Amino acid sequence: MKPTTRKRLFRGALYAIFIIAVVVVAVLADWEAIQSNFFDLDVAAEAFPGIITTAAKNTVVYTAIAFVGGMIGGLILALMKLSPVGPYRWLATAYIELFRGLPALLVIFGFAFAVPIAFQWRPPGGSAGAGLIALIVVAAAYIAETIRAGIEAVPKGQVEAARSLGMRPSWTLVSVVLPQAFRIITPPLTNELVILIKDTSLLFIAGMALGDRELTTFARDSVSSQANATPLVLAALMYLVITLPLTQLVAKLERHNKRGR
Amino acid sequence: MAATPRTDVPAIEVRDLHKSFGDNEVLKGIDFHVDQGEVVCVIGPSGSGKSTLLRCVNRLEEPTSGTIIVEGVDITDEDTDLDKVRTRIGMVFQQFNLFPHLNVLRNLTLAQIRAKKRGRAEAEEIARRNLAKVGLAEKADAFPSQLSGGQQQRVAIARALSMDPDMMLFDEPTSALDPELVGDVLDVMKQLARDGMTMMVVTHEMGFAREVGDRVVFMDGGVVVEQGKPEDVLGNPQHERTQGFLSKVL
Ligand SMILES: Nc1ncnc2c1ncn2[C@@H]1O[C@H](COP(=O)(O)OP(=O)(O)O)[C@@H](O)[C@H]1O
Ligand SMILES: [Mg+2]
């Protein structure tokens, strides 16, 4: 057999397997059950407008708060980690390793339940607020490492040029290093943002007031009250509407960076 | 000691300068000076410590021991305001080191505004004047990546000049350039020398050293081996090491 013939046969076999698999799934699947359990229009209608005005809105708001908080915390931690002062470096390293090593769910649980009981402290914003603080605490650890990598990727000559012009270290950082570092890390930072969007779903463990519910909590409550999975599908679509443009953006930025500026 | 610059002393005076990186002693007791208005070219084989000496002069490198006096101000003294001294010392790097995220005009105004506390309008006027001086007036809005290497290096010179420095340090300013772009940069430097700028130039351009230099300093192995008028050092070197080096590069 000629190599080209063999290649063509192999390609044909792959297509055949795919078509058989599709046919088998189509024949075996209980389409009625799928339709009535996952795509029930009446149940879907029930979910509106709350799934948008409350749930999707809260998901976006929580993500924004956690991201901004995580960026501020991450920047401080990154600068501490690059500090010439030993104790700052050690503290930042310990923090980053700790919170990257723990499941986010456990941290949320701690802030929502353990911390308030232990210290007789009511977090602002109730359970949602406590959960958000936990998300910020965890996000800061990841973002810190990203920012540190970005700062270290800025060529040493940039700092030398700024310092040789008489610019103070603080101005050098703000006007020369950070703008270049953030340009370098825009793709990974956008990835952190996408991960954060999905991680807001973990807030359900905190147990939230009705108006504080985000997409996953909202969908789960609807699923149990309606005994139907359609709200879950709606929530999934909402997540994709938010995350897909961002992941596309990351892909585009990465192609752009590869080509060089 | 008063930290005000003086005009009756050498622009740069280096005494018994030692610099080590770990166990590697790179400068082994350098005595060196540049008078005001003088153009001193530093030559020598790669790795001889030329860049390190130049970078010690504005303390981008921390000297291990020794004294460096710039316009009468001891910059190795802990109380000296280094940032202030640096605004009087222009530095031009082999790799240009323009700020890639800023356009040419902002490259030239940033430190004027941040370090010299000039207003934006004044800074821009000074920037445009210096761009014109290096023949790039029309490139104010371009980004560094849109310029050739030679243009980038001239922008870097204009950036340093915009701080109104009393002296300029050049570290192999044409070594990273395509041969056909070297001339434009050297022309700008020659004009600067004619205008009376104090210059310390690490270079492999022997033609430039001969034509523009008031003095040539030959370094090898972390020491100054020989120095003097260009025609003497380059034309009639006294030391074997100088002769060996020149026979390779000329
Ligand atoms: N930052 C540094 N860390 C360690 N060694 C260095 C550093 N900079 C320069 N050196 C060493 O110092 C020596 C002299 O370097 P340099 O001053 O750049 O020489 P030149 O400019 O004459 O080529 C070289 O051996 C080089 O490896
Ligand atoms: Mg060098």
Task: For A19-35, write each residue's pLDDT tens digit.
Answer: 999 999 999 988 888 88
Q: At what angle do helices B120-133 and B104-114 cross, to 10 degrees?
A: 130
Of A163, A175, A260, the CB nearest to B86: A163
| Residue A241: C-alpha distances to residues A52, A60, A244, B164 (Å) | 12, 12, 6, 55
Q: Suggest the residue from A151, A159, A164 to mutate for an interface test with chain B (most B CBs closer than 10 A).
A: A164
Provide the mean pLDDT of chain A.
Answer: 92
Task: For A196-244, write each residue's pLDDT tens digit.
Answer: 999 999 998 888 888 889 999 999 998 888 888 999 999 999 999 999 9
Please tell me whether the interface predicted TM-score (ipTM) of this complex is above 0.90.
yes
Exposed/middle/buried for A191, CB within 10 Å: 0-12, 13-18, 19+?
middle
User: CA nearest A96: which of A147, A45, A21?
Assistant: A147
DSSP B66: E
A121 C-alpha to ligand 1 centroid (Å):
57
Stretch 180-219 of chain B: residues touching chain A, C-beta under 8 Å: none
Do A176 and B93 count as a contact with CB atoms less than 8 A apart? no
Domains of chain A, residue spans? 46-260
Give the pLDDT confidence score for residue A259 in this predicted structure.
57
Do A183 and B101 count as a contact with CB atoms less than 8 A apart? yes
Give the pLDDT confidence score for residue A250 in this predicted structure.
83
Residues 6+ apart with CB under 8 A from A153: A181, A184, A185
pLDDT band at B3 (very low <50, low <70, confident <90, very high): low
d(CA B15, CA B29): 8
Strand duo B65-70 + B73-74: pairing:
antiparallel
Contacts of B111 in chain A (CB under 8 A): 162, 165-167
pLDDT band at B15 (very low <50, low <70, confident <90, very high): very high
Residue A126 tokens, joined: 């109730």
A121 C-alpha to ligand 2 centroid (Å):
61
d(CA A193, CA A64): 9
Averaged over A29-52, what is the pLDDT? 88
Q: Residue B70: CA atoms inside 13 Å, Cβ hemisphere, count? A: 28
Averaged over B45-61, what is the pLDDT? 96
Q: Which atom of ligand 1 lies closest to the CA of B54?
A: 17
Query: Which residue type, as a one-letter code, is found at position B70?
Result: V
User: How many beta-carbon contacts under 8 Å exist across A and B?
Assistant: 66
Task: For A128-159, write each residue's pLDDT tens digit.
Answer: 899 999 999 999 999 999 999 999 999 999 99
Nearest C-alpha of chain A: how many angstroms from B114? 6
Q: Which ligand is nearest to the CA of B20?
A: 1
Q: Does domain A46-260 have CATH number 1.10.3720.10?
A: yes
Do B83 and A167 count as a contact with CB atoms less than 8 A apart? yes
Q: Scan for tokens 């607020």, then name that residue.
A: A129
Do B100 and A261 count as a contact with CB atoms less than 8 A apart? yes
pTM given for the model: 0.89
d(CA A102, CA A156): 34
d(CA B192, CA B160): 12
**B94 in contact with A, Cβ within 8 Å:** no
Stretch 36-75 of chain B: residues touching chain A, C-beta under 8 Å: 58, 60
Counting ligand 1 atoms within 8 A of each CB, the residue from B26, B41, B95 with the most, and so the one to mutate, is: B26
Contacts of A165 in chain B (CB under 8 A): 86-87, 91, 110-111, 115, 159-160, 163
